[in-house]
Amino acid sequence: MPILEVRRLKKYFPVLGGVFLRRTGWVYAVDDVSFFVKKGETFGLVGESGCGKTTLGRCIMGLYDMTSGSVRVQDSSISKLTPAQKKSLSTHLQMIFQDPYESLDSRQTVRQILEEKYIIHGKARNDLSVVIGQLLENVGLSRDCLSRYPHEFSGGQRQRIGIARAVSMNPEIIICDEPVSALDVSVQSKILNLLLELQKTMGLTYVFISHDLSVVRHMSDRIGVMYLGKIVEMADASTIYNNARHPYTRALLSAVPLPDPDARKKRIVLTGEVPSVENPPPGCRFHTRCPHADVICQESEPLLLDREKDSGHVAACHFF
């Protein structure tokens, strides 16, 4: 049974305009997305900036109200919980944010940042200093850091503090929202390896969000590729990399640097306008940029289908 199940999730933001700020339209940030995640696995969500993957992560966390659809964590449907039940569930579901500079309160010491969740959830104990000292050591920082402020640390160290905060309540699931994209390349692999190590020792389940396919490949068991608010292809990681079917996935893959010197020749350069999520094109949303688009692509929206019968490899393309 999946530990996390997202069903037909939609998140539309109103567009306000005019003198009276009336609603003039919608931003279709996430539009009918479904997937599940099994315990202990990493589900990667990849796509260009603005495709809706961060909004989707925030809806799962309950930071945004869904327009429709459902999110189930273990046996609980998030939208049906009382505020008290939501608070209790939030210990099982945590998030690591993209920006380690913005996500930590600069007025709090590391001790205060890490103690906060224990206090909020009524888990403060006499030996809390020992517990959070150990927490810091588990993410590769020294206990001496407890009295220091976030501005005294490098980006990588701040992200380690953010990770310590996320794992402090022994969660089951962590939504990792671009956890290394704001960091120097030299520290990215250290943070990724820390996440993998914590997953192994704590039995964590990750939803790993990134625009970088090579990072997602390194981290994920299964991958969902998002384009303009929708998942357009989903399969296990090796299938996505070796047998991608959707033209958008293929274009993304072709942009990943490879050691093969001929690889550059194979790159698929997408042309055409990137459509607005406020006014997505009819039919297949990718048809304005797709090198294989045909008349049917402009008229009919392809469904996300498994054409190989229960293979778990689904793609939304008329010619998959």
Query: Contact residues for ligand SF4 (CB under 6 A)?
Result: 246-247, 284, 286-287, 290, 292-293, 297, 302, 317-319
Closest CA to 316 of 236, 246, 228: 246
Cα(66)–Cα(79) distance, integer angstroms:
8
Q: How far is the CB of 203 from ligand SF4 (least distance, A)?
A: 38
Six-digit token string for 66: 């869904």
Residue whose CB is less far from ligand SF4, 132 or 240: 240
Q: How far is the CB of 293 from ligand SF4 (least distance, A)?
A: 4
Residue whose CB is less far from ligand SF4, 208 or 320: 320
Cα(195)–Cα(171) distance, integer angstroms:
13
Cα(244)–Cα(233) distance, integer angstroms:
8
Residue whose CB is less far from ligand SF4, 88 or 276: 276
Q: How far is the CB of 48 from ligand SF4 (least distance, A)?
A: 15
Residue whose CB is less far from ligand SF4, 217 or 287: 287
Residue whose CB is less far from ligand SF4, 162 or 280: 280
Angle at 220 between CA 217 and CA 222, to 5 degrees: 105
Q: How far is the CB of 246 from ligand SF4 (least distance, A)?
A: 6
Residue whose CB is less far from ligand SF4, 96 or 251: 251
Six-digit token string for 72: 């189930």
DSSP state of 310: S
Residue whose CB is less far from ligand SF4, 169 or 270: 270
Q: How far is the CB of 222 from ligand SF4 (least distance, A)?
A: 21
Cα(249)–Cα(47) distance, integer angstroms:
9
205: left (phi over 0), alpha (psi -120 to 50) or beta: beta
Q: How far is the CB of 221 from ligand SF4 (least distance, A)?
A: 25
Q: How far is the CB of 318 from ligand SF4 (least distance, A)?
A: 4
SS3 label, residue 136: helix
- Residue length, the chain? 320
Q: How far is the CB of 277 from ligand SF4 (least distance, A)?
A: 17
Chain centre to alpha carbon of residue 251: 20
DSSP state of 27: E
Residue whose CB is less far from ligand SF4, 63 or 296: 296
Query: Cβ of 319: how many Cβ atoms within 10 Å?
Result: 14
What Å distances lie between residue 61 and 169, 186, 289, 298, CA to CA? Answer: 15, 30, 32, 35
Element (H, E) at 19: none
